[in-house]
Amino acid sequence: MRILVLYTELAAYILSSFKSFLDSNTGAEMLIVHYPINAEAPFEFKSLNNANLTTYQADKTTIINEEINRFKPEIILCSGWGNTFYLKVVKQYHGSAKTVLCFDNRWNGSLKQRLLASTSKFNFLKTFKYCWVAGNPQAVYAKKLGFKSENIYTGLYTADNDLFQFIGKEKLKLKGVYPKKIICVARYIPQKDLPTLWKAFINVNTKFDNRWHLDCFGNGILFENIIENVNIKHHGFVQPSDMSSYLLESGFFVLPSLSEPWGVVVQEMALSALPMILSNSIGAATEFLDATNGFSFEAGNQEDLEKQLSILMDKTDEQLWEMAQNSWENGMKHKKEDWVKTMLEIYNNNKNVWN
C-alpha cells in the first residue's frame, strides 16, 4: 500500500497518526510532501519507518513530481485546495489512485464558500472521490461541496493519545488540593486573541486574592506585545513531549480563539484531564466540550470570558476533580486507532476507484 500525503504544515499529532498506521500495517509506505517547518511552531519530528519526507518548494516541483511518479501512489491524501501543484498531482492520478480531499474548514455560508460549492462539480468532484475532514462541522461543508455521505469520513485529526492519556491518568491519581493554575497553549497571533484572556484573567484573579496563576505556551508575532503580570508566565514554544510536568501542575485549560476551524490542542488538554473554557469559535468543542467538563464563551467577549473564569475558579476541589475526570473521558472518544481504521476503510472501499 503506497500512500502519498500532500500536506501543509506538519505537526507532531499528525505524524503520530502516520506512525501508528505504518507500525500496524506491514508493507505500507508513505511519501509525505510538506511545507517548511513554521518558526512559530518548530515541532521536532522523529523519523518514521517506511516513510520519506520531502519539503515542498515552489522552485522544486519538477523534482518532487519525479519522486512522486517513482513512488506510484495508490492513495493520495491532499491537504486542502490552496496549493495548485498539489491539485495538479492529484489530477495526474485521476482514475488510477484513490484521491482524498482533507480539510478542517467549517461551513459558514460565506460568498466564497457558496461559490466553491456551486462550482465543485467542475473541479473537486472531478478530482477527488473521498473527503476526510476533522469533524461533523466540516462534514457539513463536504456535503455542500457535493461529496456523497458514504464517501465522507471524519476524524482526520487526533491527539497523540499514547502521550496525553497517560498524563491524564497520572493527574487523576493525585486528587487532594486542586492546582490553582490555568494553562493556555496557542500561537501568539491575532486570531488566538490572547490579550483578551490576559486582561480577563487579571481582572478575575483579583477577586480571588490573586491565588491563581496563568501559564501560556506558544510563540508568534505578538510575543513582543505580551502583557506582563506577576501571576502570568510566558513560556514560549515547548515540544509536546516536554509538556507533561506543566500539565500535571495545571488546573484547567482556556483557549480564546476568534477563529479555530478545529484545534487538536483541545483533545490534548481533555486527555490531560483538564476542565476547559473555550470560545464558541472552536470546532473541536463540538466533540470534546460539554456541560460536564467546562464552559463556552462568546469569542472576543472579555466580559463573558470573565464570567466563565469566575464560575470555574469558584468551584470546589471536589467539583474540579470531577470535571477533570469528565474531560479525560471526553478526550478518549477518538484515538489514533480510529485514524488507522479510517485509512484502511478508504483503501478497501470499492475495488473500482471511480465507482
All structural domains of the chain: 2-157+335-348 (3.40.50.2000), 161-331 (3.40.50.2000)
Which region holds residue 80: left if phi is over 0, alpha if psi is between -120 and 50, else beta? left
| Chain position carrying cell 460539554 | 290
Mean pLDDT of 84-102: 95
In 3-state terms, what secondary structure has residue 7? coil
Q: Which residue has the cell 491532499?
A: 78
Q: Please give the backbone phi and psi of residue 213, each rounded to the nearest 5 degrees, phi first.
A: -125, 155
Question: How wide is the angle at C-alpha 221 spanned by C-alphas 281 and 35, nearest 5°?
Answer: 80
pLDDT in tens, 22-58: 999 999 999 999 999 887 888 888 789 999 999 999 9
Instruction: Pick the closest to residue 80 from 31, 37, 29, 116 (CA basis).
Output: 116
* pLDDT(234) > 70: yes
Positive or negative: CA dihedral 222, 223, 224, 225: positive
pLDDT of residue 47: 82
Global pTM? 0.94
Percentage of the chain surpassing pLDDT 70? 98
pLDDT of 351 higher than 60: no
CA-to-CA distance for 208 and 231, rounded, in angstroms? 12
In angstroms, the Cα distances linking 287 to 92, 293, 345 are: 36, 12, 22
> Which residues fall within 8 angstroms of residue 242, CB to CB, at 6 or more apart?
none
| Burial status of residue 35 (CB atoms within 10 A of its CB: 0-12, 13-18, 19 or more) | middle
Q: Is 237 helix (H, G, I), strand (E, B) or coil?
A: coil
